[in-house]
Structure 1
Amino acid sequence: MWCDHRAKEQAIRITETRHNILKNIGGVMSLEMELPKTLWLQDNMTQDQWSRIGRLFDLPDFLTWKATGDYLPSRCSVVCKWCYKAGPESGDSTSHHNNQGWPEDFLRQIGLGEIADHDCQKLCGVGNEGQRVHFAGEHIGGLTAQAAKDLGLVAGTPVGGAVIDAYAGAIGTLGAKMNGISPTVDEARKRISLICGTSSCHLVMSDKPIFVPGIWGPFHGVMLPDMWVAEGGQSSTGQLIDYLTRSHPAYNEAVERASASTPVVSVYEFLNQHLEIVAKKQSLTNIAYLTKRFHMTPDHHGNRAPFADETMRGSISGLDLNSNNLDGLAILYLATIQALALGTRQILGALCTAGYTIETICISGGLSLNRIFVKVLADVTQFPVVLPGSGGDAAVVVGAAVCGAVAYQSSLAGPGASMDGLLWDAMARLTEASDVIEADQDSTLRRFYENKLRIVEKMQQDQREFNKIMDE
């Protein structure tokens, strides 16, 4: 559901309110968030259909409800995706209860007054009266008999406060031991978690709120109870690589060659290997230089960060009539990877300019298994990239397991016990790094990527100018 972009008009209407609470999502409501989708449903359903809705959930809170039978909202999901207010220095709203809760005046202003009139109970569970949202891993109850049967577990097994999938990836990577040494929380503030799958999320912590235009957050207590989190993102990463490679006329040939190789490899590992062959044929010292005359912006599904501009679109410069073969496919594939890495560099630049201190990327997700993607990312950003010991595609599951361990500890401490330190201790104890990919310090390569970044920024600016011309 996150990548369903039909609520564009509703997101624009919400942004145009200029409500102060929008400052916690970079000043612009994303059409990927839940309130514009809710507003779209209200706008497009019949009154009878709308009235029959009992509860609207983000996935973490739906799963919590199925597991426990109770409405026990996650602080992570409601704050990050629903504009729920929790914590100091969040966007002000006159209707908040004790500095937290659903922003009833905001809901009325954007056209969801009916929900506000009924104590917001349609959103994720119980309303503002007596509601409490829960920290990551905080014990909130036990598995019902039916849930235990469905999952093959024991009834009463502790259930912890949920987190969004990307945040589970951050929990599974940001505390990773390196060379057997666990980082301190202060050191973890210098790490950014990059979860790369269909889309990508960039999560970085701070001990104070740092507001960045175009970046979601800062969100208080959505991972560690006393820390703020900022979230950058790219709406299409693995999805974009799949889309562009599968659209190329040589894709089927690449799949056949990959399947016929010994040992059999994925089509993307085949392309990784083929890039080295093409670079050797052209006497290039690095495969990066294959795209010297081929440039791309990766905003085919809009720009989530750092511009928060859904209207942006991808673009390619350097097309010719001789690229319909395997060599051309490999170069297109490489250009896509480079464009995505340059997009991450733009996000890192916005975060660092605003005051974050980032020194290391902790990567997870399916793309972390792609050796060319990881190396290009390190070279483009000039940051070391840390690979998780769990294997990149398992880090989100490991993060969820860490929350499960915390849920057990929290259950022993009893209701209302402090959560301070529990999650971080579990992260540092249960996660580790498997490898660190260092950035190439070659001055020629660094200058090459600096120039590529300048071109990407120029292409993005040109697109804005093109749009202005066409709107005249």
Structure 2
Amino acid sequence: MVGVDFGTLSGRAVVVRVADGAELGSAVHEYADRVIEHTLPGTDVRLGPDWALQSPQDWIDVLRLAVPAAVAAAGISPADVIGVGTDFTACTVLPATAEGTPLCFETPERPHAWPKLWKHHAAQPHADRINELAARRGETWLPRYGGKISSEWQFAKALQLLEEDPETYARAERWIEAADWIVWQLTGVETRNTCTAGYKGIFQDGAYPSEDFLAELDPAFAGFTGKLGRELAPLGGLAGHLTARAAEWTKLPEGIAVAVGNVDAHVTAAAADAVRPGRMVAIMGTSTCHIMPSDRLAEVPGMCGVVRDGIVPGLWGYEAGQSAVGDIFAWFVDSFDGSHEELTALAEKQAVGAHGLVALDWFGGNRSVLVDHDLSGVIVGLTLATRPEDVYRALIESTAYGARMIVETFERSGVPVEEFVVAGGLLKNRFLMQVYADVLRRPLSVIGSDQGPALGSAIHAAVAAGAYPGIEPAAAAMGKRTEAAYLPDQARADAYDRLYAEYRTLHDFFGDGRMLHTLRAIRNEAGR
């Protein structure tokens, strides 16, 4: 099997053995355009604050370059590959023609013609309007998303497209998640997966928001769901077979199975064999996504969504998240001329609380539990004696406090978290993992793969190809994790309880947004 993971800055392909999930070879392709945040490629067209776009050509290049390289690295014949699975960041969404051509290929000078990356937050005012109207009308789908939908999601981004570039909106015959678009390119068949439709497209109980609701937002928005497609494909399902064109790109056999698309975080549950109720997987990278299957339905304040069949068919799937985690640490290192290794070595020598700081982890806004991407980071306790390693440690701790806030919110709402499993690139930082165990006051299990999303996609491909009857048995055979790899230290956990109480105080004080929204507005007015 080949699993292909399309990330924020790069795409990676992994060749996986069907029998036991052994990873035989891998390759990475760095996107040429990375994240488009300031100027459109090849133009002098500047973007506004909080924009984040990507290029579909970068995604095609992953198929052309990373997939053949991974197969070569595995030392196998391409003829041995029986299926392909893919996953994507979400909500990364693009306008396209009815044939699947991205509009940015036709009008590259128009910002709204380009795919909006998950971290595009410029649609926050549109999300606010959707939330206010849904609350006023008592829309039954709103509690399924913790009471607020995000600016990152399909409807907010689409409403921004309509109102800021109605011509491009009218030309967009399809508004499609990149997760489904890439499968379309592989199979020649347009499909829509249950995961992105439910979590990012407000599809609940068999329907999208009503035409009446959309018309009240903007009369021209009434027919928006016609751009989304109607038939949803189940996770682990067969989307189609590899076309001749895609076979030429990937150098894989024409006609092999292609799995239904999925989200990078959600598919990682299979890679960690965490597809049973109560196992929360935190996929920690530039951001963190917390996903968990459950056999019970509850309304959890500030969660990103609960979707039937959203992670595993037959179970409710919950999602929450933090908009920035690794991005926070990278910002500090890049801005203050340090290194992760040096700062970590200094920070881990400190006693808990010795730096005298507490920070809010909102440098990329708050995804859960406040769902407000116009919030921003806060650091309290700075003095003339504060050193870089003090701030670095406080930032690490702030993200752990944010994770604890999410876990406690789930459990207060009657959805128990029985096991906390960590995946993603930040797993390599042992100090950070120990901080999380101490702050959360619970053991951390860790995934047994450095390529969780790609492995999870390969597991789904194995199901689509018929090698396993379902995701659960495939995950049991091919997934891997180490239980209780990090254990909390009682003394440190007690000390962190005091700091966490101060974090909660700051969280509640700044969470209303009055000061932080004002500061952001002043910044935007100044033309940054």
With the length of structure 2 as denominator, give the TM-score of the two structures: 0.71
Structural mapping, 1:326-341, within 5 Å? 328-341=387-400
Structural mapping, 1:58-457, within 5 Å? 58-85=177-204, 90=205, 99-100=206-207, 103-111=210-218, 113-114=220-221, 116=223, 120-123=225-228, 126=229, 131-175=230-274, 188-248=276-336, 251=337, 254=338, 267-276=339-348, 278-279=349-350, 287-291=351-355, 293-323=356-386, 328-391=387-450, 394-409=451-466, 422-434=470-482, 436-442=484-490, 444-457=491-504
C-alpha contact 1:174 1:193 (8 A) present in aligned 2: no
Structural mapping, 1:7-22, within 5 Å? 7-18=123-134, 19-22=139-142
Specify every segment of 5 or more residues in structure 2 that has no aligned partner in the other structure, as ranges.
1-116, 519-528
How much has 1:51 moved relative to structure 2? 2.2
What secondary structure sits across from 2:436 in the alignment?
helix
Instruction: Give the Cα–Cα distance (whole angstroms) in 2 for the partners of residues 315 and 433 of structure 1.
Output: 35
Greater fraction strand: 2
How much has 1:76 moved relative to structure 2? 0.8
Greater fraction helix: 1
Letter in 2 for 1:164: V
Counterpart in 2 of 1:416?
none
Change (3 A) 1:4 1:160: same
Instruction: Give the Cα–Cα distance (whole angstroms) in 2 for the partners of residues 295 and 433 of structure 1.
Output: 32
C-alpha contact 1:362 1:388 (8 A) present in aligned 2: yes
Instruction: Give the Cα–Cα distance (whole angstroms) in 1 for the partners of residues 250 and 485 of structure 2.
Output: 38
With the length of structure 1 as denominator, give the TM-score of the two structures: 0.79
How much has 1:389 moved relative to structure 2? 1.4
Instruction: Give the Cα–Cα distance (whole angstroms) in 2 for the partners of residues 466 and 226 of structure 1.
Output: 38
How much has 1:112 moved relative to structure 2? 6.5
Counterpart in 2 of 1:95?
none
How much has 1:315 moved relative to structure 2? 0.9
How much has 1:470 moved relative to structure 2? 9.6
Which of 169, 178, 193 does residue 50 from structure 1 map onto? 169
Instruction: Give the Cα–Cα distance (whole angstroms) in 2 for the partners of residues 64 and 389 of structure 1.
Output: 27
Which of 440, 457, 463 does residue 510 from structure 2 map onto? 463
What secondary structure sits across from 2:318 in the alignment?
strand
How much has 1:387 moved relative to structure 2? 1.5
C-alpha contact 1:14 1:36 (8 A) present in aligned 2: yes
How much has 1:115 moved relative to structure 2? 5.7
Letter in 2 for 1:136: L
C-alpha contact 2:281 2:422 (8 A) present in aligned 1: yes
Specify every segment of 5 or more residues in structure 1 that has no aligned partner in the other structure, as ranges.
91-98, 176-184, 255-266, 280-286, 413-420
Letter in 1 for 2:131: T
What secondary structure sits across from 1:436 in the alignment?
strand
How much has 1:435 moved relative to structure 2? 6.1
For these two proteins, the number of residue pairs brought into alignment is: 398
Q: How large is the Cα RMSD of the aligned pairs?
A: 2.3
Change (3 A) 1:359 1:466: closer
**Rg comparison, structure with higher value:** 1
Letter in 2 for 1:371: R
What secondary structure sits across from 1:311 in the alignment?
coil
How much has 1:307 moved relative to structure 2? 1.8
Instruction: Give the Cα–Cα distance (whole angstroms) in 1 for the partners of residues 428 and 516 of structure 2.
Output: 42
What secondary structure sits across from 2:317 in the alignment?
strand
Instruction: Give the Cα–Cα distance (whole angstroms) in 2 for the partners of residues 104 and 400 of structure 1.
Output: 34
Instruction: Give the Cα–Cα distance (whole angstroms) in 2 for the partners of residues 452 and 101 of structure 1.
Output: 42
Comparing 342-351 with 369-378, greater Cα deviation is found at: 369-378
Comparing 100-109 with 230-239, greater Cα deviation is found at: 100-109
Comparing 196-205 with 457-466, greater Cα deviation is found at: 457-466
C-alpha contact 1:196 1:237 (8 A) present in aligned 2: yes
